[in-house]
Amino acid sequence: MLPKVISVFGLFSSFVVAGDATLVRDVNTTISHSAVLECSIQDRAITDWKSLRFYWQDDRNVVLYSYNNGRKVAEHVNELYQHRVTDFPQDIVRGNITIVLKNLTLDDNGRTYSSFAAVLDDSGTTRYHLEHTQICEMTLHVAVLYQEPRLDVNTEAMSAVCSLQGGFPAPDIQWVLLHNSSHQAVESRNVNTETKQNVHDHLYSSRSILHIPAGRHEAVSCLSHNPTLNRTVKVTHYFNTGAAESGIVGGREAKPHSRPYMVSVQYRGVHSCGGILIQRDFVLTAAHCKNETWGSCTVVLGAHDITKKERTQQRIEVDEYFAHPGFTGQYEYDIMLLKLKKKAKLSKNVKTIGLPEGKTSANMKCAVAGWGWTTAHDCPSNVLKEATENIEATSNCENIWQQYFNSDHMICTNFTKKSGGICRGDSGGPLICKNKLQGVTAYTSPEDCTDLSYPHVFTKVRFFIPWIKETMKK
């Protein structure tokens, strides 16, 4: 028997070679993404691939892809897979029989895909170089990301509840208590976790209750792990800083560097506004962040704790300020571009975010982030915080804010005391909906940013795209 397959790789790939022929591998990915079923016939004896035949099928023997006589044989492909497979004809002629399966659903989860191939001897006789043989075998694991976990702590009852919704597969939940600056795993008898699967969409939700043992704890964290993506999300509650501390006001500490486009706009080393890196040399922020008495200000990129000199940080001076010409110091056109003296170095911790394509709609859940005030009357935050707000119906924004709100170029959001939201010092930061930049933090109730009767207002980035593009050309 000839050695056949060797070449493999992929997202989250791990592999085992079974026997001497078939390559067995897991392919882990997320729903609606694609999976690369990478397989390549490596046989030096084969120089002529004209007679290559191969097909891919799933564990129900349903054919995804079939190839013979130098072309794809569409009639062999089952309708379940029609329009879902991408091939690479230019690579096939070298024995690379990789295909890509698109639009993954949970129906594809756990399926095994195998490829079989044959290559005739180039003498044209019926001798095979490679007989009809199984080459590769891939098991697909499809995950659905959980929504942001919620952590509610009741310090009277000394209990904490961590809730997760809408994910796949079932999460592993772990609790950690921070005690005298060291982490302690929590004993299982203090934890009660319940996980349910929805029969319609197959998604899991999970609720874990921790009975906090007596002791002087500094913080409690809930860690949820997605086994398919090998990814853990952590939410932390700090006891000493008061109720539901974390977000901006309320909310939570952001996972360090999970928002690599976040900028702290500083004057004399003091945070004054948030900003958003949209091009290596341009930061988007709010026009009201400009202070004539400032002189030059600096942007800090790649930061999590702005009071520290983190190695990931880049400090760049602002070269030019482009407040929108329509900004009069009031509420309208509250948007500004900062041109940096030099281009940011992009890295894992410093990335640009693109300008939005889609729109927002009422009730969409969006994220806000910043280093601003953590309670209405307290002080700015050292670490980046984030919270979730809800897009409010335009008519409500107009009814409440009256002449201050212009739906053409503003978006407004509602929030709860629990979810928290933006406050002083968060101006100029982003409103992110479905991973797209939609707004720049503009204004809240001047008396109290946590006043639920006044929705928070953001400058609508989409409206300003032509101005942004034009200005960045200067």
Ligand X SMILES: *[C@@H]1O[C@H](CO)[C@@H](O)[C@H](O)[C@H]1NC(C)=O
Q: Which residues are at the interface with ligand X (CB under 6 A)?
A: 7, 12, 14, 26, 28, 40, 83-84, 88, 91, 96, 98, 102-103, 141, 169, 180, 216, 227-228, 230, 291, 293, 362-363, 390, 392-393, 396, 414, 416
> Which residues, other chains included, contact 256 with Cβ-Cβ below 8 Å and sequence gap of 6+?
304, 383, 384
Catalytic residue among 257, 288, 304, 456, which? 288
Minimum separation from the CB atom of position 88 to ligand X (A): 4
CB of 115 to ligand X, least distance (A): 12
Using DSSP bridges, classify how beta strands 182-185 and 172-179 pair: parallel, antiparallel or unpaired: antiparallel
- Smallest separation, CB 172 to ligand X (Å): 10
**Nearest of 448, 365, 378 to residue 414 by alpha carbon:** 365
Taking alpha carbons only, the member of 290, 21, 8 closest to residue 138 is 8
Name the amino acid, one letter, at 93: V
Name the DSSP class of 190: G
| Burial class of 145 by CB neighbour count within 10 A (0 to 12, 13 to 18, 19+) | middle
Strands 282-285 and 410-414: unpaired
* Cβ closest to ligand X, residue 280 vs residue 294: 294
Coil/strand/helix, residue 394: helix
Contact (Cβ atoms closer than 8 angstroms) between residue 239 and residue 218:
yes
CB of 286 to ligand X, least distance (A): 11
Q: What CA–CA distance (Å, rounded) separates 10 from 28?
A: 9
Beta-bridged to residue 373, according to DSSP, are 380
Nearer to ligand X, 231 or 377 (CB): 231
Give me the least distance between CB of 105 and ligand X, in Å please: 9
CB 391 within 8 A of CB 363: yes
Catalytic residue check, 427:
yes
456 belongs to the catalytic site: no
| Rounded alpha-carbon distances, angstroms, from residue 18 to 23, 136, 137, 348 | 6, 10, 10, 36
The distance of closest approach from Cβ of residue 192 to ligand X in the complex, given in angstroms and rounded to an integer, is 24
Q: Is residue 254 classed as helix, strand or coil in its secondary structure? A: coil
CB 286 within 8 A of CB 442: yes
Query: How is residue 30 written in tokens?
Result: 């997320």
Q: Which of 271, 419, 427, 456 is catalytic?
A: 427
Catalytic residue list contains 319: no
Return the HEC string of 387-447.
EEEEECCHHHHHHHHHHHCCCCCEEEEECCCCCCECCCCCCCCEEEECCEEEEEEEECCCC
Burial class from Cβ neighbours inside 10 Å (0-12, 13-18, 19+) for residue 269 reads exposed
The three state secondary structure string of 352-366 is: CCCCCCCCCCCCCEE
Please tell me the distance from the alpha carbon of residue 45 to that of residue 125, in angstroms, as a whole number: 16
The whole-angstrom separation of Cα 360 and Cα 396 is 15
Active-site entry in 58, 108, 334, 426: 334
Nearer to ligand X, 26 or 121 (CB): 26
Q: Is the dihedral of CA 296, 302, 308, 311 positive or negative?
A: negative
Minimum Å distance from CB 268 to ligand X? 8
Neighbours of 447 (CB within 10 A): 9
* Shortest Cβ 139–ligand X spacing (Å): 8
What residues are labeled active site? 288, 334, 427
